[in-house]
Amino acid sequence: MVRLLTACALTLLVSAASFSQDDDSTFEAPHYYHRTKTKVGGAGGFTPAWALFNFDAINKVLPAGMPAFKNQPMYLAGGEGYGYIMFLKNVRMGGLGMEGTVSTTQYDPSTNIMKNVDYHVSYGGFLVDYVVPIAEGFDCAVGVTIGGGSIDITTTSDDGRYKQWSQIWNEFGNNDSTINVTRHLNGSFFVLQPRFNVEYALLRWFQLRVGVSYPTMSAASWKLEDDKDILGVPDNLKTNGPVITAGIMFGFFN
């Protein structure tokens, strides 16, 4: 999802560049500034973020001795693209996507077994923002993103040895538990994310931003290996929490 939205953002960048022939110029302050001005244009770019998610639900089921996921900022990489619509003043629409992964590992030297858990979060969707011009090149935007997201949990247990064809099939035919196991759990959610950004255009084609958002996941559907339902998943195994965002945007800013 993030790769698709990033591609859209780059496409917007190329198209928006045609609006400006004075790429090396900064904003020239006018003799007066109307806060009621109408915003036009579009942009796309990269939107890194740091999420303050809670990992208590997954920490409770980790094997004894495995380091817990720390409740510290989780880095998310993302992309966004948007354009202003003309029939609603200072309203823009577009799309965004975010994703990130944290991991924990346990090694048992007595058995030479390595256990690993990857916790991957991704979400994105359709965005709508209302933009309030404050000063030339300086705006505030409040909006919401509606879409979907997922949590992918991959567990791996491995003895570190070279894998042989016969060993793989012997393990498959053995009713006893095997050492080398990889399992994939996926939770799909509906996502609603209100957000607020402060944005400043250094040039007519280059903008920086900071903001905060709060993605909320609901209506979970959990699967094992993408096709088997999982029952009894804790309700709090989801990524509700504040997200601090940044952004480097390219396009046409008036």
- Residue pLDDT, tens place only, 114-167: 999 999 999 999 999 999 999 989 999 999 999 999 999 999 999 888 888 887
Amino acid (1-letter code) at residue 189: F
What pLDDT was estimated at residue 101?
96
Which CATH number does the domain housing residue 85 bear? 2.40.160.70
Distance between CA atoms of residues 184 and 226, nearest Å: 8
Q: Is residue 154 included in any domain, yes or no?
A: yes
Q: Token pair for residue 156?
A: 């791996």
pTM across the whole model: 0.81
Residues 121, 126, 45, 15, CA torsion sign: positive
Helix (H) / strand (E) element for 182: namely strand 181-203
What pLDDT was estimated at residue 245?
96
Show Cβ contacts of residue 115 under 8 Å, excluding neighbours closer than 6 positions: 63, 66, 105, 106, 107, 108, 155, 156, 157, 158
Q: Token pair for residue 196?
A: 């607020």
Distance between CA atoms of residues 18 and 70, nearest Å: 46
Q: Is residue 46 included in any domain, yes or no?
A: yes
Q: Is residue 31 included in any domain, yes or no?
A: no
Which structural domain, as residue segments, surrounds residue 247?
2-20+40-253
Distance between CA atoms of residues 96 and 79, nearest Å: 6
Maximal C-alpha separation, the chain? 82
Q: Is residue 9 included in any domain, yes or no?
A: yes
Dump pLDDT digits (tens) for 42-56. 999 999 999 999 999
Query: Are 250 and 83 spatial neighbours (Cβ–Cβ below 8 Å)?
Result: no
End-to-end CA distance of the chain: 29
Distance between CA atoms of residues 254 and 252, nearest Å: 7
Q: Is residue 139 included in any domain, yes or no?
A: yes
Q: Token pair for residue 193?
A: 């994310």
Low-confidence ranges of the chain (pLDDT < 70): 1-36, 175-177
Q: Is residue 240 included in any domain, yes or no?
A: yes
Query: Where in 109-232 does DSSP place strands (E)?
Result: 113-135, 138-158, 181-203, 206-213, 216-224, 228-229
Helix (H) / strand (E) element for 103: namely strand 91-108
Q: Is residue 79 included in any domain, yes or no?
A: yes
What's the domain count of the chain?
Answer: 1
What pLDDT was estimated at residue 36?
60
